[in-house]
Amino acid sequence: MEKSILITGAARSGKSALAERLALRPLGRAVYVATAEAWDDEMRDRIAAHQARRGAEWDNRHAPRDLVDMLIETDGDAPRLVDCLTLWLTNLMLGDADWRSEGERLAAALMHQKAPVIFVTNEVGAGIVPENRLAREFRDAAGWLNQTVAQACDTVILCVAGYPVRVKPNDFDF
Amino acid sequence: MEKSILITGAARSGKSALAERLALRPLGRAVYVATAEAWDDEMRDRIAAHQARRGAEWDNRHAPRDLVDMLIETDGDAPRLVDCLTLWLTNLMLGDADWRSEGERLAAALMHQKAPVIFVTNEVGAGIVPENRLAREFRDAAGWLNQTVAQACDTVILCVAGYPVRVKPNDFDF
Amino acid sequence: MEKSILITGAARSGKSALAERLALRPLGRAVYVATAEAWDDEMRDRIAAHQARRGAEWDNRHAPRDLVDMLIETDGDAPRLVDCLTLWLTNLMLGDADWRSEGERLAAALMHQKAPVIFVTNEVGAGIVPENRLAREFRDAAGWLNQTVAQACDTVILCVAGYPVRVKPNDFDF
């Protein structure tokens, strides 16, 4: 098993740019696994802005729901960048899929991957408790998914203002 | 005085599970001080889910408002886990109590405790400024309480995706 | 060029008090550059509470929009504390200014400053995605500005419960 990395942080904290640097570092090329569904124009603009940063060194794939199968299918020598887990979770929840089973399948599949996977995810639970019940369920699910994937990764990074803060492994004795 | 610990972080970042491990480490048993009021079914479900994780090694107590007295009453050899400060603050504010005096009493009382106290709290101020005035007052109060208790603790931990990031003490020279 | 510092963190996480200590450390006096516009009574109260903490060692200035000119004008021997970048950004956006150009001008100007600048900013992107489109645009802009200023600073600090967590420089090899 190769080393996998989870990059979390606030919106616009530089997670994707950092993930791209890390994914290209070993070979100069990598597989980009987008999870976003282009539901509306705003999302289409965001996807276009992200793609504009990427060149020919990227093999672009799209896995809004079948992420585990996509990782199995693309497991060769090149790192895979999954951007991002929170959009994947959104798609699963909106499609009434069993997101908890899918999250556990993802963590289990990571153990058998030959090439590394770099995941981008989001911190969504550090604001005031949302009044909207669906929003509360989503932030609970996102927190659970982040913990579940973090356990299966060798490295966890918190991105702050474009810079990485080490979360796992660390020298904190517990 | 024994070492006290403040564990903060986003919702569902693994704070409670980490706090439980730390509380049981010295003796294999500890006092669990719940602060939640079961206002509605959703909260009752959350409390039940948290209790389901705890076995006979826990002496379960309930202190939705009189937390300082509870800490004095339970100060023996076993660590106390307080879960959590933000719900305690919510109860004080909803009951029109003087939360600022209570927070200062809590920090002062910590200085005289023989057994350690492990506090769970929440980061609630890292989202967009809430439109609701009460929500703004709550996040200001929660930030103040976190700072006040952090000063009285030996260790402060930020929990991210289930892993601890060291906040206090650290090697940052200021 | 002297060392500049960016201090970010949640609301009420102790950023301003830490920034004030850092600004006064070299000479015992510093320039305070407030960016807040007193739009309403609540904001006036917040400004007054912040000012009450500051004594005669502070040279108080006000730059709700012309922050770059203010830094050039006050560049002598004493550190400047800018509190805060998110309010400056708010003023630029509400005034329909070209905030992106202003942010880039700010980062470029930092390179030529003789005296240090300590910036306070806010983490606003770690909650649930806001339903309000303007709020989403603001948090994207704030994240971009934080990254842009962080790149031009020698030190970046995340403030948690009143204590600094090192973000830049760090020992994380990337």
Q: pLDDT (tens digit, 9 = 90+) per residue, B129-141?
A: 999 999 999 999 9
CATH superfamily for domain A7-11+15-168: P-loop containing nucleotide triphosphate hydrolases (3.40.50.300)
Q: Catalogue the active-site residues of A.
A: 50
Q: Closest Cα partner for B83 from B42, B36, B49?
A: B36
Q: Which residues contact B172 (CB under 8 A, 6 or more apart)?
A: C157, C164, C165, C166
Percentage of chain C beyond pLDDT 70 is: 97
Give the pLDDT score at C1: 46
- pLDDT tens-place string over residues B114-123: 999 999 999 9
pLDDT at B6 over 60: yes
Percentage of chain B beyond pLDDT 90 is: 84
Residue C159: CA atoms inside 13 Å, Cβ hemisphere, count? 27
Report the SS3 class of residue A33. strand
Q: Round to whole Å and give the CA distance between A83 and A86.
A: 9
Which tokens sit at B170? 């650290």
* Average confidence score pLDDT of chain C: 93
Q: What's the average model confidence in pLDDT over A111-136?
A: 95
The alpha carbons of chain B give a radius of gyration, in whole angstroms, of: 15
Q: Across chain B, where does the E strand assignment appear?
A: 5-9, 30-34, 58-62, 80-83, 117-120, 155-160, 163-168
The reply to whether residue B147 touches residue C13, judged by beta carbons under 8 angstroms, is: yes
- pLDDT tens-place string over residues B138-173: 999 999 999 999 999 999 999 999 999 999 998 776
Q: How many CB atoms lie within 10 A of CB A125?
A: 27
pLDDT at C46 over 50: yes
- Cβ-count burial of A169 within 10 angstroms (0-12 exposed, 13-18 middle, 19+ buried)? exposed
Q: What's the average model confidence in pLDDT over A146-174?
A: 92
Q: How many CB atoms lie within 10 A of CB B155?
A: 19
Q: How far is CA B172 from CA B148, C4, C67, C150, C156, in A?
A: 20, 16, 29, 18, 12
Q: Which residues contact C95 (CB under 8 A, 6 or more apart)?
A: C65
* Average confidence score pLDDT of chain A: 93
Q: Round to whole Å and give the CA distance between A86 and A21.
A: 20
The reply to whether residue A147 touches residue B162, judged by beta carbons under 8 angstroms, is: yes
Q: Round to whole Å and give the CA distance between A53 and A48.
A: 9
Q: What's the average model confidence in pLDDT over C157-173?
A: 90
The reply to whether residue B146 touches residue C130, judged by beta carbons under 8 angstroms, is: no
Q: How many CB atoms lie within 10 A of CB C82?
A: 28
- The Cα angle at residue C103 between residues C101 and C104, in degrees rounded to 5: 65
Pick from A24, A41, A163 the residue to mutate for testing the C interface (most C CBs within 10 Å). A163
Percentage of chain C beyond pLDDT 90 is: 84
Question: In the β-sheet with C163-168, what is the strand arrangement from edge to edge?
Answer: C58-62, C30-34, C80-83, C117-120, C5-9, C155-160, C163-168
Give the pLDDT score at C11: 97
Q: Round to whole Å and give the CA distance between B37 and B47.
A: 9
CB distance from B126 to chain A under 8 Å? yes
CB distance from A159 to chain B under 8 Å? no
Q: Round to whole Å and give the CA distance between A162 and A153.
A: 21
Helix then strand then coil, % of chain C, to nearest 5: 40, 20, 40
pLDDT band at residue B53 using 50, 70 and 90 as cut-offs? confident
Fold of C5-168: Rossmann fold (3.40.50)
Could you confirm whether B50 is annotated as catalytic?
yes
CB distance from A129 to chain C under 8 Å? no
Q: Round to whole Å and give the CA distance between A148 and A107.
A: 7
Lowest-confidence pick of A137-146, B121-130, C31-40: C31-40
pLDDT band at residue B174 using 50, 70 and 90 as cut-offs? low
Q: How far is CA C143 from CA B52, B61, B77, C114, in A?
A: 39, 42, 47, 27
Q: Round to whole Å and give the CA distance between C81 and C65.
A: 15
Give the pLDDT score at C2: 54
Give the H or E element holding residue A137.
Answer: helix A133-152
pLDDT at A1 over 50: no
Q: Which CATH class is domain B15-168?
A: alpha beta
pLDDT at B18 over 90: yes
The reply to whether residue B22 touches residue A151, judged by beta carbons under 8 angstroms, is: no
Q: Residue A164: its chain C contacts at CB < 8 A?
A: 170, 172, 174
- pLDDT tens-place string over residues A63-121: 999 999 999 999 999 999 999 999 999 999 999 999 999 999 999 999 999 999 999 99
pLDDT band at residue C10 using 50, 70 and 90 as cut-offs? very high
